[in-house]
């Protein structure tokens, strides 16, 4: 496994392209003709790829995700792979820039011949390649973003989300605020894009269209949120929901503390990972500033979880003992879900078989509730649990909320059990 921008196969493909102008002129798609072998599948390997922000504005919060996924695949490969094949994971840096995303994804499909694209990260970045991947019938699995755009089977039959979407997370946070902080003024700081607007829409399902006491937005290009925090303070906000990435969650909390503003903070999963926030704020002040910090999640983050124990072991052995945080659990959870799908796709997997497995509803993942895929539903998790930071430990507090239509209900978690040493078999 490797992080790569080019491979020896790139040169081979360049030569083939130069000598195959007639075939190109006939308009053959990237996924090949009916008589060709399945792209990315050989006798002993299955090759998948991804675009990730290894550099650029999102790197500090998310660059470790793909390393965790790679570590999980190394663990699977060391234990025999899937149906005798090892998984090769090509990770390409797009710098969180949609133009770069288009370039590297075309390389993955047209030059590296990947079987599928797995966990491409970011709403603006991945949106730029949706049409390309679906037109070329490339399985586009487990997009790393809570946008609702990935759940559109009619327009994008090859694309599947993974995260609990921002409507689910926003409604869960708002319901928890209503249940645990009744009568308090709830406000929001949101990213000035689909992320912020969708989390806001989720919150308004519970609070009503005028239920937020104030709503402020920020731009990722501006590392100063003093004006926004000042406006929330002046509005008398007692609970502030954050539709922010981790760096801006820390920036908001730190700025508010400097201004003497100490509301109850409630963040989406994309901006609420305690170890990552500690890295931004510093170990000296973070435990105090983040005491009582609320977030949502749908994966097994409890310190005593058997999944967390396994992932820690994999992280130590196959990820050079990198820092263990929410990104680690997320990256390995994605790897587990793909391995589960690949195992169920059979001994000679095809792209069509992979999609059929997901739409069959057989895939369960390893979350606090099972995955919910079907032919009509390409979203991932439909419920989110509430986590709370207490004494420097982030753990679930027992409240889990499911969104069905515009109805939010409290449900019991259904944590998927760890079986087979964490390697799915069929």
* Cα distance between residue 400 and residue 183, in whole Å: 21
**Helices of type H across 150-260:** 166-180, 194-207, 226-234, 246-258
Closest CA to 266 of 301, 285, 239, 235: 239
Nearest to 98 by CA among 68, 135, 56, 44: 56
List, in sequence order, the alpha helices (H) in 259-367: 274-281, 286-289, 306-318, 326-344, 351-359
User: Contact, 205 vs 171, CB < 8 A?
Assistant: yes
CA distance 177 to 77: 44
Q: What mean pLDDT is reported for the chain?
A: 90
As a whole number, mean pLDDT of residues 189-206 equals 95
What confidence score (pLDDT) does residue 25 get? 32
74-91 pLDDT, tens digit each: 999 999 999 999 999 999
Q: Is the separation of the CB atoms in 352 and 326 below 8 Å?
A: no
Chain centroid offset of residue 99 CA = 20
**Residue linked to tokens 């986590």:** 387
Distance between CA atoms of residues 124 and 115, nearest Å: 23
**pLDDT above 70 covers what percent of the chain?**
92
Q: Can you tell me the mean pLDDT for 153-166?
A: 97
How much is the pLDDT for 199? 97
Give the per-residue pLDDT at 6.
35
**CA separation (Å) from 161 to 84, 302, 373, 380?**
28, 23, 9, 5
Sequence-distant (≥ 6) Cβ neighbours of residue 15 within 8 angstroms? none
Which tokens in the block code for residue 293?
């910090």
Please tell me the distance from the alpha carbon of residue 130 to that of residue 150, in angstroms, as a whole number. Answer: 9
For residues 383 and 269, the answer to whether their CB atoms sit within 8 Å is: no
Q: Which of the four pLDDT bands, split at 50, 70 and 90, describes residue 190? A: very high
Task: Give the model's pLDDT for residue 19.
Answer: 28
pLDDT for 27 beyond 60: no
Residues 249-289 pLDDT 10s: 999 999 999 999 999 999 999 999 999 999 999 999 999 99
Burial of residue 125, with CB atoms counted within 10 A of its CB: 0-12 exposed, 13-18 middle, 19 or more buried:
buried
Three-state DSSP at 172 gives helix
pLDDT digits (tens, 9 = 90+) for 218-244: 998 899 999 999 999 999 999 999 999
pLDDT surpassing 50 at residue 13: no
303 touches 395 (CB < 8 A): yes
What domains appear along the chain, each with residue ranges and CATH number?
Answer: 2-164+305-381 (3.40.50.2300), 166-297+386-411 (3.40.50.2300)
Please check whether residue 187 is in contact with residue 214, taking contact to mean a CB–CB distance below 8 angstroms. yes
Inter-residue contact 128 to 152 (CB < 8 Å): no
Comparing C-alpha atoms, which of 259, 239, 146 is closest to residue 199?
146
Has residue 8 got a pLDDT over 60? no
């Amino acid at each position: 496994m490797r992080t790569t921008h080019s491979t020896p196969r790139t040169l081979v493909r360049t030569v083939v392209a130069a000598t195959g102008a007639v075939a190109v002129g006939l308009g053959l798609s990237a996924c090949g003709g009916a008589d060709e072998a399945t792209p990315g599948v050989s006798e002993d390997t299955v090759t998948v790829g991804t675009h990730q922000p290894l550099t650029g504005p999102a790197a500090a919060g998310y660059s470790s995700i793909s390393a965790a996924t790679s570590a999980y695949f190394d663990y699977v490969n060391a234990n025999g792979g899937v149906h005798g094949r090892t998984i090769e994971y090509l990770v390409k840096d797009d710098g969180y820039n949609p133009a770069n995303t288009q370039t590297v994804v075309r390389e993955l499909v047209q030059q590296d011949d990947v079987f599928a694209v797995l966990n491409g990260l970011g709403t603006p970045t991945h949106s730029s390649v949706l049409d390309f991947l679906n037109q070329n019938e490339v399985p586009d699995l487990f997009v790393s973003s809570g946008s609702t755009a990935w759940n559109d089977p009619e327009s994008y039959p090859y694309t599947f989300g993974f995260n609990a979407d921002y409507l689910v997370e926003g409604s869960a946070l708002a319901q928890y605020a209503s249940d645990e902080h009744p009568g308090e003024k709830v406000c929001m700081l949101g990213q000035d894009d689909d992320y912020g607007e969708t989390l806001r829409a989720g919150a308004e399902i519970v609070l009503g269209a005028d239920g937020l006491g104030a709503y402020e937005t920020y731009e990722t290009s501006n590392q100063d949120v003093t004006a926004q925090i000042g406006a929330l303070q002046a509005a008398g906000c007692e609970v502030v929901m954050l539709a922010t990435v981790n760096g801006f969650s820390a920036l908001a909390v730190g700025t508010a503390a400097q201004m003497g503003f100490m509301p109850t903070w409630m963040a989406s999963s994309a901006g609420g990972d305690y170890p990552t926030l500690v890295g931004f704020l510093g170990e000296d002040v973070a435990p105090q500033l983040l005491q009582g910090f609320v977030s949502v999640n749908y994966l097994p983050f409890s310190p005593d979880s058997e999944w967390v124990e396994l992932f820690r072991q994999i992280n130590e052995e196959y990820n050079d003992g990198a820092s263990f945080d929410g990104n680690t659990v997320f990256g390995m959870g994605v790897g587990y879900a793909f391995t589960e799908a690949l195992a169920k796709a059979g001994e000679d997997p095809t792209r069509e078989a992979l999609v059929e497995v997901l739409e069959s509803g057989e895939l369960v993942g390893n979350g606090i509730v099972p995955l919910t895929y079907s032919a009509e539903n390409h979203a991932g998790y439909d419920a989110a649990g509430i986590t709370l930071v207490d004494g420097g430990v982030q753990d679930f507090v027992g409240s889990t909320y499911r969104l069905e239509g515009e109805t939010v209900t409290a449900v019991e978690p259904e944590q998927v059990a760890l079986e087979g040493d964490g390697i799915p078999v069929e």
